[in-house]
Amino acid sequence: MAFFGLFGNKSRDYSKVERPQNRRQIGGMFSTGGLSTLWTDEENFASRAKQLLYKCPVSRRCFEIRAEKLASISLKVENASKRTKKVLTQPNFRDRTMSNLLRVIESDLGIGGDAWLFLNTDIRDRPILEGLRPDFMYQEPDKNLVLYDPAKRLTGTSKPELIFTMDPDDYGRTQMVQRLNSDGRTYEVINGAILQISIYNPLSSLQGSGAGDAILADVTTYGAATKLMYARFANGGRKAGWITLPEIEGIDDMTDEEWAKLDSMMQKLRSGEELKGLVAGANFIENQMTFAELDIVEVVKALERRIAMALGVQPVMLGFEGEATQANMRTADRTFYTGWLKPRADFILGHLREFLSEELGDDKLAIEIDETKIPYLQDDKGEILDKMARNGALEFNEYRIALGWEPKPWGDKQMPVSGVGNMEATSGDKEPQQQPENTTPREVGHDADTSRRADQR
């Protein structure tokens, strides 16, 4: 069954001996959960998600952009059976489209470095592919078990909903799937397999390392800076500090009554916990730097860019000051696609292709990005094709197919060397008409401009 859980990561699997001291008791079984202090596992995935998605608007928007861009790609599927086409068209009843499932996969990978997918083939004609929350997954490699246990994470009482028995010789291959019955006590064996997609982690065979690992310190600093700004504005911009006591003769020998009188005087100078004045002889000593001294605005701007770049998102895509121009946005889109989106999509689709091919028996299955549906790549490709056409290197149908258009019966003719001809006709149903060559020189007046080329006079 499934064997691409660590596809492309390591040639040797050392999960059975990885940090055994991190095991935790759950329902009579043990779960390792990977490196609980260094990398994302079931213990800290939720806290990281809160920090990256709810406490920092910059990192949240970056993760949204990554997920949205990945979900927007069109897939080109070839040699797929009816079962596989159903999975890729509507993976499950929650993710009604493959785009929604890709969004879920990218969110999990970005935050924690792992995405878990369960292929349920119990109904043979309608397989279901669904995502499982990474913080509900508990691994026990020395028992060859992977457990899906939401109750353990949410209530602290363990009763796994799914138990995956893995191949002892290949921990990424599923041998058996058990599902908890409605009685909450017994299990039934069902057909299915599990896939773990992991971003390569050099220190762990069990857990991946997501982009969120690289920006936790910056996100924490960003939160502290914005909290400081909020506190200063909420306090009306007033500084914090200390108040010295006035010079009072015999202050060391003051009675309780005299101290109460001094305290009463200080209270009268307050209005709603706000100090409006000082007792005669008292001094205010500030202990807080100004915004200018902290340079806090520039610090926040620098952190925003650091977070965006660490997540592979161009600053112009976030609308930062001085960045949002049409030319910059177009360049950023192209750079984002070639530098992050296409490699990431190929990585995820490669896992899906091999997993579904193995589990559903589609040996020749092919899943890839349909680049003809990406507008700015179409423009670039069109410029190249136009240049080829002007040099007589293309037929009409070759030109059309390269741009994602349907071939035409008349399209097996060579495109004219002088150019691509009538583009509207080329993209339509009618055969483009060859323009007759004018061999008669044009007549011009004696004072006309004759500096053009001979064939244009």
Distances 440 to 56, 343, 435, 448, 450 between C-alpha atoms, Å: 71, 56, 15, 18, 16
Q: Is residue 1 within 8 Å of residue 175, measured between CB atoms?
A: yes
Work out the mean pLDDT of the chain and round it to a whole number.
Answer: 79
Q: Rank 184-188, 257-261, 262-266 by mean pLDDT and report only the highest.
A: 184-188
User: What's the pLDDT score for residue 15?
Assistant: 77
pLDDT of residue 26: 36
pLDDT band of 234, cuts 50, 70, 90: confident
Residue in the block written with tokens 């007792």: 279
- Return the ∠ at Cα 224 (arms to 219 and 226), rounded to 5°: 95
Of residues 393 and 75, which shows the higher confidence score?
A: 75
Q: Mind listing the pLDDT tens digit for each residue in 31-62?
A: 333 333 445 555 678 888 889 999 999 999 99
- Block residue for tokens 């202990």: 287
What are the CA-CA distances from residue 121 to residues 131, 250, 257, 364, 426 (Å)?
Answer: 15, 89, 84, 20, 46
Cα distances from 3 to residues 141, 164, 169, 285, 355, in angstroms, run 14, 13, 11, 67, 7
Mean pLDDT over 92-98 rounds to 91
- How far lies 240's CA from each of 9, 98, 363, 366, in Å? 53, 54, 70, 65
Report yes or no: 191 and 359 within 8 Å, Cβ to Cβ: no
Tell me the residue type at 382.
Answer: G
Residue 272 has pLDDT above 70, yes or no: no
Query: Three-state DSSP class for 413?
Result: coil
Would you call 424 helix, strand, or coil by DSSP?
helix
Highest mean pLDDT among 24-28, 157-161, 334-338, 453-457: 157-161
Cβ atoms of 283 and 244 within 8 Å: the answer is yes
pTM to 2 decimal places:
0.71
pLDDT at 282: 64
pLDDT at 380 over 60: yes
Q: What is the full DSSP assignment across 248-290?
A: -TTGGG--HHHHHHHHHHHHHTBSSS-B----TT-EEEE----
Residue keyed to tokens 């069954």 = 1
Mean pLDDT of 223-234: 81
As beta bridge partners, residue 196 has 116
* Contact status, residue 304 vs residue 226, Cβ threshold 8 Å: no
